[in-house]
Structure 1
Amino acid sequence: MAEQAQGAVPLSAVIADAATGVALALRGEGDPYALSRILRQGDAVSLAALRVLGADALAPYALDHRAPPGGDDETVVRETLAAYPPAADASEVSVWSYRGLVEASHSYLPGGAAHWPPPPPAGADWVTADPWPKLAHRASQLAALALPGLAPGLAEDLTTRTDDLARGFVRAIRRRDWLQAAGLGRWLARMPDVPTTLGLDAGLAFVRQMSGGDARVALHVVAAKRFHGRGW
């Protein structure tokens, strides 16, 4: 896991290692999940990896892997939120991903919402204004917010553009952009009226197979299946 000789490991490897740990937990495999076992408190690379994974790092706690109250997991999340707040000129994706981690902390960690920072405001005008290729790109980067109960307003807005997200899903597969395809497939898995002609279940399985073992692709596909029953 990431904790082994982590000081010399590049950020991408720590992210992949953590994503693998989350996916294992979502499949019910491996040891009981603890965020602090795969991303250590006080370690700069771990905190950066958690900021990238966002709410997904807490996804197993949305199931029955409950975090112990007041433990190291809370410390890791708090350190990350303090170290990587969105800047004043941050992109919408950066603000939304930060907000998603805060929301997931409120929902999945037992410390109590009163002790967590409030989610920062985040605009969603881009959901209606963006042309579909740009919309697909942004939505795929925010796939961690497709977790149950998170970002309900954003999810509702994205539902109005289901067809455009489906177009993006097909385009990403054709371009062999497996991470974007997996992220879009995960959002589509949460939506109620996905066209049956899209073949979402087979598409998600294909994306995972073709991704060459990409850990973040696997995490998105496993989450689509575990939380929304889509994919094989």
Structure 2
Amino acid sequence: MEQSGTSTLLQGAVRDLASGVVSALRSGDHTHATAPAAVDGEAEGLAVAAVRVLGADALLPSTLLHAPPLPDELAVFRKAVEAYPPRADAAPTVVWSHWAMRRTLRRLDPSFVDGPAHGPEPEPDADGLDRASWQSLTHQLAVLAALALPGEDCAVARLAGRRSLDVARGFVRAVRRRDWRQAAGAGRWLTLLDGVPETLGLETGLDFVELMGGEDPLVALQVHAARLTRTGAFA
């Protein structure tokens, strides 16, 4: 029961964090805190865990709006990076998510020098993703939607670019299966990719996903990020 209660608290903290990100993206106010402020004890542990679950998207307003995050939210984000390194047997999505967080932190916090002091952060292996079926690829890309950023280059983004038709196919499948989170994440990737069929109707599809996603802030986050990318409003 205690474990179940902790899981429920964490889910609520992740939703609250995602709601804060969505609010900041919608308002364009990068001074609006998204990550929880630095706190102590059990509340701190919950806040740090929530940031780790949301990943690099916890600082998405700062990334897209090119503005520094608030010190408290940056401190919590850094704790999440340092407290939850991937295990040796971690899944590729976990490893890539952590890599994305480290890359974000390196850009926003000059004092963070995890990895090489100069040059790009070494990328994890993406061979497993490259061999994935289109169904599995769409699922994993949706989990790694925080890597879907304008102008960014990494092995996952290059892979998605080579398989845009597979991602479009996966987007349709997710909508049909009413998997709104996966559809929103795949849709975010599709806004960046070349070769997406016009017949897909991506913009209308994203509107539908947002509508059907209801009050889920994790869906809203991906859809709004996709719209900002599509319109170039982040520039």
For each residue in 1:60-119, what CA deviation from the matched residue of structure 2 results, as whole angstroms up to 9, or x when unmatched?
A: 112054225xx3233212211121100000000000001111111123x1x31x633134
Structure 1 alignment gaps of length 5 or more: 1-6
Q: 1:175 to 1:215 in 2, by over 3 A?
A: same
Is 1:116 the equivalent of 2:113?
A: yes
Tell me the residue number matched to 1:135: 137
For each residue in 1:13-70, what CA deviation from the matched residue of structure 2 results, as whole angstroms up to 9, or x when unmatched?
A: 111111111111111167832245x3535411111110111111111112054225xx
What letter corresponds to residue 23 of structure 2 in structure 1?
L
SS of corresponding position for 1:213: coil
**Kept in 1: contact 2:56–2:146 (CA 8 A):** yes
**Kept in 1: contact 2:165–2:195 (CA 8 A):** no
Distance, in Å, in 2 between the alignment partners of 1:141 and 1:74 is 22
Distance, in Å, in 1 between the alignment partners of 2:159 and 2:92 is 15
What letter corresponds to residue 75 of structure 2 in structure 1?
T
Distance, in Å, in 2 between the alignment partners of 1:60 and 1:29 is 8
Distance, in Å, in 2 between the alignment partners of 1:87 and 1:128 is 22
SS of corresponding position for 2:87: coil
Is 1:40 the equivalent of 2:38?
A: yes
Across the aligned residues of Structure 1 and Structure 2, the Cα RMSD in angstroms comes to 2.2
Distance, in Å, in 1 between the alignment partners of 2:30 and 2:94 is 31
Q: Size of the alignment, in residue pairs?
A: 218
**Kept in 2: contact 1:81–1:98 (CA 8 A):** yes
Write the mapping of 1:216-231 to structure 2, written as runs, cut at 5 A: 216-229=218-231
Write the mapping of 1:170-189 to structure 2, written as runs, cut at 5 A: 170-189=172-191
Structure 2 alignment gaps of length 5 or more: 1-5, 116-120
Q: 1:73 to 1:151 in 2, by over 3 A?
A: farther
Q: 1:134 to 1:202 in 2, by over 3 A?
A: same
Distance, in Å, in 1 between the alignment partners of 2:189 and 2:134 is 14
Tell me the residue number matched to 2:3: none
**TM-score normalized with structure 1 length:** 0.86
Distance, in Å, in 2 between the alignment partners of 1:120 and 1:94 is 15
**TM-score normalized with structure 2 length:** 0.85
Write the mapping of 1:62-211 to structure 2, written as runs, cut at 5 A: 62=63, 63-67=65-69, 71-107=71-107, 109=108, 111-112=109-110, 115-118=112-115, 119=121, 121-211=123-213
For each residue in 1:166-194, what CA deviation from the matched residue of structure 2 results, as whole angstroms up to 9, or x when unmatched?
A: 11100000000000000000011111221
SS of corresponding position for 2:191: helix
Is 1:54 the equivalent of 2:67?
A: no
Tell me the residue number matched to 1:22: 21
Q: 1:58 to 1:30 in 2, by over 3 A?
A: closer
Distance, in Å, in 2 between the alignment partners of 1:173 and 1:189 is 16
